[in-house]
A = this chain, B = another copy of it.
Amino acid sequence: MTVEQIQQNVDFIKYLYENKDMRGLKDAINTYEAIEVVHILEELSPEERVIAYRFLQKDLALEVFEQLDPELQEQLLNSFSEVQAVKIIEEMETDDRVRLLDELPATVAERLVTKLSYEERMKTALLRGYEQETAGRVMTPDYLSLKKNMTVNEAIERVRTSDVDRDNLNTLYVTDASRVLLGIVDLQDLVIAKPDQTVGEIMNEDIVYAMTDHDQEMVARMLQEHDLIAIPVVDRERRLVGAITIDDVVDILEEEATEDFHKIGAVGKFKINFREARISFLVAKRIPWLLVLVFMNIFSGAGIAYFENTIEAVVALVFFLPLLIDSGGNAGSQSATMMVRALATGDVVFRDWFKLLFKEIGVAFSMGLIMALGVALIASFRAPEVLMIVSITMTLIVVVGSLIGMSLPFVLSRFNMDPAAASGPLVTSLADIAGVLIYFSIATWYLGIG
């Protein structure tokens, strides 16, 4: 589906809506596939969205609802009667339901939960009992477990008659009478095995599993590293409580990458639908870091004030101020960004710091010399009297900026803080302060002022 196709669909539905052709709208919206309807709904106004959604046939409506962003789910839910709302969330998969309930105002969520059937309420409570962003929270309680002494034929019969969602049948779990996890059987193992073998004979006992309180990103990396399509989640007694499937892993890694992206841009941590977000929400997420950086920058201002005499002696120094301090910040941003990503993907770990530090000095010094040549070229035309000062400063600033940028993520991770908090803007501000001090110190010394 291309952007153009989506736009055509949206235009068509909007056209029917504007012409009040509700019959046509109902017919049209039901000809699309679920994912197409999702794209259309995302583009409609809230009023159009509610109307269009209500025209969907029951099965399609449910499928579409499951695939919508929680923000849009919430919006639609608000337009339903409580009976309708309960029916919809009752039909959702447990992990999707929990995600939606997290988004709803607590009172609304609780009222809806109490209306669910006993079984669904229990499943929901189970997942909601775990911390956000843990394996327990994102697992599905919908999996198929087998017993060790079953024959392969009996196991296949279990698969056939089970009401577990078919997407969760690729990996099957073997448990004992007290639900302790004993092994794993992939569906293809069942198909390939002889009908009279037992599950115990063909199961893989060498299991990779997650605990309920493991961090979701760590679990996602386990699946990725072992090329698995599902992983069992167990409690402290190694009893099976759920499973995490690869489609959730893709979403988790995507979400974590977005989080790191926002942090590196010095934006607060948040999940958002940009087109729906309120201005006040965006301001609240962005202003804190900006203010912190403003107050940090008092130090560069103070540094400049301290060197007022030097500046008054040679005003040409100021011409090169943005260029020099930016270069340190830019080199530092590069290092910080690379390290934050490498730490997040596990390509680099804390104990690599020392080794990488030496390499970074080599890299930064080489870059600093090249850039010193560049700035010397500029200075030779515009202000030859500061040529030596800016060249020496450039080399030093690039080295110092790079070292700040590459070290900060490691330092943060050492103190169990998120390395991604070493954002570009933070590194830039730190490099600025260092840059101002280096620049004017060298100038003062070189010009013999003091």
User: Which A residues have a C-beta under 8 Å from some C-beta of B?
Assistant: 3, 7, 33, 35, 156, 159-160, 166-167, 169-170, 186-192, 206, 223-227, 229, 246-247, 249-251, 253-254, 257-258, 260-262, 264-267, 273-275, 277, 279-280, 282-283, 286-287, 289-291, 293-295, 297-298, 300-302, 304-305, 308, 311-312, 315-316, 318-323, 325-327, 329-331, 333-334, 336-338, 340-342, 345, 347-352, 355-356, 359, 362-363, 366-367, 370-371, 374-375, 378, 382, 398, 424-425, 428-429, 432, 436
Contact = CB atoms under 8 A, between A and B. Distances in A.
Given A187-B187, A347-B273, A359-B279, A371 B294 contact: yes
A378 B298 CA distance: 8
B3 A279 contact: no
Contacts of A192: 159-160, 166
Contact of A291 (B160, B320, B322, B370): B370
Chain A interface SS verdict (over half)? helix
Contacts of A342: 274
22 contacts: A3-B350, A187-B187, A187-B191, A190-B191, A253-B253, A254-B345, A261-B261, A261-B340, A264-B264, A265-B338, A266-B330, A273-B347, A274-B352, A283-B370, A289-B330, A301-B320, A305-B382, A311-B315, A312-B315, A322-B325, A326-B428, A326-B429
B283 A363 contact: yes
Nearest to A347: B274
A264 B263 CA distance: 12
A407 to B, nearest CB: 14
A334 B370 contact: no
Contacts of A436: 322
Nearest to A249: B250
Contacts of A260: 261
Given A187-B187, A261-B341, A341-B261, A290 B378 contact: no
A385 to B, nearest CB: 14
A417 B282 CA distance: 27
B287 A367 contact: yes
B266 A334 contact: yes
Nearest to A359: B279
Contacts of A251: 224
Given A266-B334, A275-B355, 4 more contacts: A250-B253, A264-B264, A280-B366, A290-B371
Contacts of A305: 316, 319, 382
A56 to B, nearest CB: 18
A437 to B, nearest CB: 12
Contact of A425 (B225, B330, B362, B367): B330
Nearest to A166: B188
Given A266-B334, A371-B294, A366 B261 contact: no
A216 to B, nearest CB: 14
A157 to B, nearest CB: 10
A166 B187 CA distance: 10
Nearest to A226: B35
Contact of A279 (B262, B266, B362, B425): B362
Contact of A262 (B191, B341, B362): B341
A337 to B, nearest CB: 3
B312 A279 contact: no
A363 B279 contact: yes
Contact of A301 (B33, B267, B382, B425): B382
